[in-house]
Structure 1
Amino acid sequence: MKIARLASPLFVVVALGLVGCGNRSSGYSPKPAEEVKPVDLATVDKANVFPLKEGNSWTFESQVAITLPNGQSQTNTEDITLRVERIATEGGETRAEIHVIREADVDPETGQLTEDAAQQKADRSGWMVNSEGIYQTAGSRDLLNYSPALPSLLFALKQGDEQEFITTGPLPAGNAENNTIPVRRMIVRHTALGPQQVDTERGTMPAFSTQTVLLYPASGDDVEGLSAALSKLREAGVTDVTTATSGTPSEPAEGTSEEGTSTDGTSTEGTSTEGTSTEGTGTEGTSTDGATTDGSTGDSTTALSSSLPTVPPFVASTSTVFWSPGVGMVRFRQVVIQPSGVRIVQTLRLKDYDLKS
C-alpha cells in the first residue's frame, strides 16, 4: 500500500512505503528525571522561547510508525535537522523559513547536501513569533500558507485552556497518487497542556506542552457540518472525537489521558510511558496519545457506539509539542488517523542543537 506524504503542523515528512525502506533501531532510552524549575509563561522571555536566528539548527531522532487496518506495520528511524534559512523582523514580529534536512541527504564525508538532495526542493515551513505566541504560517515544499496561522504556543493560554477555529492550509495527509499536499479548510483545536519535564540527550529540560488537533472531512468541504456533528458527540460525552474518524465513535477507556499528561494532570513526559511502551509498540489501545481506543472491546463498546450520533468520515491529526524557553522545540509527536484505519505516528526527540550568538 502506498502512503501519502504527511504535512505535520511543524514540517513536511515523506511517509514510508511498507517495503524496501531503510531503517535503524531507535537509540532513545528514557533517562531518570532531573529536578528542573517549571516553565512559567508569564515570566519567560517570549521572544526567545523559539530562538529564530539564521543558521540556528536542531537535530532530532525521528521515528515514523505506520500501521495498516490489517495490522501490518513498519517503523522507520532516522536523524533529521531543522535549520533556519531565512529571517525577517518587522513590527515586533519575527518570521522564519525553516528547512528539514534528512540524514540520507547529507554526505557523511563533507557534511554537505548530496548532489541529488541539493537539486530537490527542501521540505520547509514558515514560522512567526510575536508577543502573543508561536505560530506556523506555512508548510510543504511550496510553502503553502495557513490562513489564519496555526498556533503552536499561545502565551496567554493557561493549562487546560482551549481555542477552536477554522483555517485554510496544507492538509496533514497528502495525496498518495501524485504525492502532493492539497490545500483545504480544517477545524483547528489548540489546547495548552501545561509545564512538563522532557529528557533529551542534552539533559532534562523544562518545557511547556501544547496540543493541536486538525480535523477535516475525508471528502468534500463541509467543515461546518463536521464541526456540528462533532459538537453533538462531545455533548453526548465523547471527550476524544478523534475516535470517530470512520463514522463510528467510541469512548476511550476510563483513566486514559492526553499525550504527555497523566490523569491527575501531572507530567509523565520522558519519565513514564512516553517513548517506551506506548509509541506504536504493541500496546495499541492503551496509548495515552488521546487518539487510540482499539483496546475497548465487547458488547459494551457496540452498545455505546450505536447510541451515539454518527459523523461523516474524517481525518484526524493530533500533534503534541514541547517548547523549552531558550532552546525551542525539544519533543514532538503527531498521530494521524484516517477513516480507512491507517494510523501514522511520528515522534521527534531532541539530540542536539546549535544556536548562533
Structure 2
Amino acid sequence: MVGSGVSSAPTPHSGYHWDGESRKFFEGWYYRVTLPEAGETFAFMYSIEDPLGGESNSGGGAQILGPRDEYLCRTFPDVSKFWAWKKGLGLGHWGQTSLTIPPKLIDRDTFEAEVKQGYQATATWHQGQLYDPGSGHHCTWQYTIEPVYGWGDRQSTAGWLSFLEIFEPGWQILMAHGWATGWIDWNGERYEFNRVPAYGEKNWGRSFPQKWFWFNCNSFDGEPNLALTAGGGRREVLSWMESVAMVGIHHEGQFYEFVPWNGTVTWEIAPWGFWKMQAWSGDLEVTLTGTTEEPGTPLRAPTQEGLVFACRDTMKGQVHLQLKQRRQGRYEMLLEATSSQCGLEVGGGPWNETWIVD
C-alpha cells in the first residue's frame, strides 16, 4: 500500500491509555536519537506499571541504551510522581526533587535546577537527568524534536484491533522520523547535535508479547528521508495467541505498509545475530536483512513479573532494505538502502532455535 506519509495532525494513541482504575496495566514510551557522525545512538525507554499503586510491581522505570550499547537504568517507585497527558504525547516522572507541586510539564530551567532524577517528554521536547549511585554512571539531556513522519496518514500501527483494545499489547509508532537538535551528556562525554534523526513509539496493555523481534532505522546511507520500522511477535488476541508481523517504510513522502490484512509477511529470526523478513502487498515486495556481530545488551521490559530483563538489543545493527515493484510480470527495484546504525531486538521466548514463519 502506498500513500502520503506527511501530516501535522497528532498520531493516534499519542495519549495515555490508563483508565484510572485497572491495577494490572503498563504503558511504555521509546525515544531515540541517532548521531550519524559519531556513529552512536541513544535510546530512552520509559514505563509505568500498575499506576494505581500499592502492588508489588507498581512504579516507573527509565532505561537508556547509550554509546557502545552501554546501559543505564533507574526506577521510580512513587507512582504519584508520574504524569501523562490523556489527549496528546506528554509524560514525565520525578524521582529526587525539591518540588512540592503535583508533577507536570515545567519549564526547562526549573526542571534542570529542581529535578535531580527524572525526565519529561513531549512530541517536540525531551529532557532529563539520571544518576546511578551504585556505578556512578549518569546522563543528562535536552533536545528539541521536529516531527517529519508520524505513521502513515495518521493511522494506527496495529490497525483496527488496537482501537478495540483486544490486541495485547497495543503498539503505536508515534514518529517514524523527525529531527533532533540539542545535547546529551553521557558520563561526561558531551554530544551536541543539530537536526539528526529522531524516532518515537509506544506500547500499552497488561504485559509485553510472549515472544517478539524488531527492526528500526531512520539513518540510512545517502537516504536522509527514509525510515523503517518492522517487527512481529506472538501476541494475545482475546483468548488465543497468534503470530503476526508488519513492515512499514516512509520514503520521500510516501508510506509503504505490509501487514497481514493487506498482504503476506514472512520471517526468519535467529536467537541472536540474524533477522530476515519478506513481505508482499499488491504489486510490492520488500526484503529486509539485519545482522550484527555485537553481543547485544539485555534490557528490561514490563512482564507479568514486573519490569525484568526480557529482551536483547543493539543499536549497531547492519540492515539491507530492498523494495521492489512488479511491472509487466517482473519485479523492478524501487529502493535499495543500507545502514550500520539499525536497532535490532529479540525478546521474550523461548529462543532455542531460529523462528521461521513462511
TM > 0.5 fold call: no
Q: TM-score normalised by the shorter chain: which range applies?
A: 0.3 to 0.5
Higher RCO, 1 or 2 (CA under 8 Å, sep at least 6)?
A: 1
More helix by share: 1
Q: TM-score if structure 1 supplies the norm length?
A: 0.33
Which structure has greater strand proportion? Answer: 2
The TM-score, its normalising length taken from structure 2, stands at 0.33
